[in-house]
Amino acid sequence: MKKMMTGNEAVARGAYEASVHFASAYPGTPSTEILENIATYKEIIAEWAPNEKVALEAVIGASFAGGRSLASMKHVGLNVAADPLFTFSYTGVNGGSVVISADEPGMYSSQNEQDNRNYAIHAKIPMLEPSNSQEAKDMMVDAFNISEEYNSVVLFRMTTRICHSKSIVELGERQEISPKPYERQLDTYVSVPRNARNNRHKVEDRMNRLQEYTETSKWNYTISHGSTVGVIASGMSVEFAKEALGETVDYLKLGFTNPLPKNLIQEFCDNHETVYIIEENDPYIENYAKTLGCEVIGKDLFPYTGEMTPDVIKRCVLSQQVEELEVPQDLIVPRPPTFCSGCPHRGFFYELGKKRKKIIVAGDIGCYSLAVGEPYRMMEWLICMGAAYSTAHGAQRIIDLKDDDDRRLVAVMGDSTFFHTGINSLLNTIYNGGNTINVILDNRITGMTGQQDNPGSGFTLQGGDAAIGDIEAICRALGVKHVRTINPNDLALVKETINWAMDLDETSVIITNWPCVLKKHYKDEDFEMYQDMWKTKDYVIEEKCTGCKACLRSGCPSLIFNPETKKTSIDPYTCVGCDVCAQICPYDAIQKEGYHE
Amino acid sequence: MSKSIKLVGVGGQGTILATKILSTALIHEGYDVKMSEIHGMSQRGGSVSSEIRFGDKVHSPVIEKGHADVLVAFEQMEAARYLDYIKKDGVVIVNDYQVNSMVTLTGKVPYPQGILSYLKDHVQTVIVDAHTMAGKLGNAKVMNIIMLGALIKQLGFEHLDIEGAILEHVKPKYHELNKIAFQQGLQL
Interface predicted TM-score of the whole assembly (ipTM), two decimals: 0.89
Q: Where are the beta strands (DSSP E) in A54-212?
A: 69-74, 97-103, 127-128, 154-159, 166-170
Sign of the Cα pseudo-torsion (A179, A184, A187, A189, in order): positive
Residues of A in contact with B37 (CB under 8 A): 164-165
Q: Quick one: pLDDT at residue B41? A: 55
Q: Quick one: pLDDT at residue B44? A: 63
Domain A2-215 listed as CATH 3.30.200.20: no
Q: Quick one: pLDDT at residue A597? A: 59
In sequence order, the 6+-apart residues with CB closer than 8 A to the CB of A531 are none
Q: Which residues in chain A (271-290) have CB-CB distances under 8 A to chain B?
A: none
Q: Do domains A220-318 and A344-529 have the same CATH topology?
A: yes
Q: How far is CA A485 from CA A127, A470, A490, A500, A511, in A?
A: 46, 11, 12, 13, 5
Domain enclosing residue B115, as ranges: 2-186
Q: What are residue A315's phi and psi, to 5 degrees?
A: -65, -45
CATH of segment(s) A220-318: 3.40.50.920
pLDDT-derived band of residue B108, with 50, 70 and 90 as boundaries? confident
* A467 interfacial to chain B (CB closer than 8 Å): no
Nearest-CA distance B60 → chain A (Å)? 5
- Residue pair B82/B103 in contact by the 8 Å Cβ criterion: no
Size of interface A-B (CB pairs under 8 A): 173
Give the pLDDT mean for A304-322. 92
Overall size of chain B counted in residues: 188
Q: Is the pLDDT of residue B113 over 70?
A: yes
Q: Quick one: pLDDT at residue B42? A: 52
pTM (two decimals): 0.94
- Chain A's closest residue to B58, CA to CA, is A243
Q: Give CA–CA dist B17/B39, Å, rounded.
A: 13
Residue A551 annotated in ligand binding:
yes
Helix and strand element counts for chain B (H, E):
8, 6
- Residue range A480-513, pLDDT digits in tens: 999 999 999 999 999 999 999 999 999 999 999 9
Q: Is the pLDDT of residue B164 over 60?
A: yes
Mutate to test the interface with A, among B3, B26, B51, B60 (most CBs of A within 10 A): B60
Task: Indicate yes or no: CB of B60 within 8 angstroms of CB of A573.
Answer: no
Give the pLDDT mean for A574-596. 92
Q: Quick one: pLDDT at residue B43? A: 57
Which range has the worst mean pLDDT, A68-82, A369-383, A539-553, B158-172? A369-383
Task: Indicate yes or no: CB of B40 within 8 angstroms of CB of A30.
Answer: yes
Count of the separate structural domains present in chain B: 1
Nearest-CA distance B21 → chain A (Å)? 11
Sign of the Cα pseudo-torsion (A538, A543, A547, A548, in order): negative
Q: Give CA–CA dist B11/B9, Å, rounded.
A: 7
Fold designation for A344-529 = Rossmann fold (3.40.50)
What is the residue type of A60?
I
- Residue range A229-243, pLDDT digits in tens: 999 999 999 999 999
Which is nearest to A8 in space by CA: A19, A21, A25?
A25
Q: Quick one: pLDDT at residue A258? A: 98
Q: Is the pLDDT of residue A448 over 60?
A: yes
Which is nearest to A134 in space by CA: A99, A97, A175, A166?
A166
Give the pLDDT mean for A108-119. 94
pLDDT-derived band of residue A373, with 50, 70 and 90 as boundaries? confident
Give the pLDDT mean for A562-578. 91
For position B13, which CATH number holds? 3.40.920.10
* CA A340 to mean position of chain CA atoms: 20
- Residue range A186-232, pLDDT digits in tens: 999 999 999 999 999 999 999 999 999 999 999 999 999 999 999 99
CATH of segment(s) A537-593: 3.30.70.20
For chain A, the structural domain boundaries read: 2-215, 220-318, 344-529, 537-593
Q: Quick one: pLDDT at residue B79? A: 97
A556-A562-A566 Cα angle (round to 5): 110
Other residues' Cβ atoms within 10 Å of the Cβ of residue A567:
17
Which range has the worst mean pLDDT, A43-47, A570-574, A593-597, B165-169? A593-597
Task: Indicate yes or no: CB of A557 within 8 angstroms of CB of B45.
Answer: yes
Pairing mode of beta strands A559-562, A567-570: antiparallel
Residues of B in contact with A563 (CB under 8 A): 107, 110
- Chain A's closest residue to B42, CA to CA, is A337
pLDDT-derived band of residue A324, with 50, 70 and 90 as boundaries? confident
Q: Is the pLDDT of residue B16 over 90?
A: no
Q: Quick one: pLDDT at residue A14? A: 98
